[in-house]
Amino acid sequence: DYLKTFESTSGVRDRLRDKERQLRELVSAEDIHLLHQRTVLLEKLWDELHHRLLLKEDRLQHGVNEWREFNDRYDRLMEWLTGMEAKVGVSQDYQVEDLIDRIASVSAIQSIANITFE
The tens-digit pLDDT sequence of the chain (118 residues) is 777 777 778 788 888 888 888 888 888 989 999 999 999 999 899 899 889 999 999 999 999 999 999 999 999 989 988 887 787 777 766 677 777 788 888 888 777 777 765 5
CB 87 within 8 A of CB 94: yes
CB atoms within 10 A of CB 87: 12
How far is Cα 39 from Cα 115, in angstroms, rounded to an integer? Answer: 51
pLDDT for 62 equals 94
pTM attached to this predicted model: 0.58
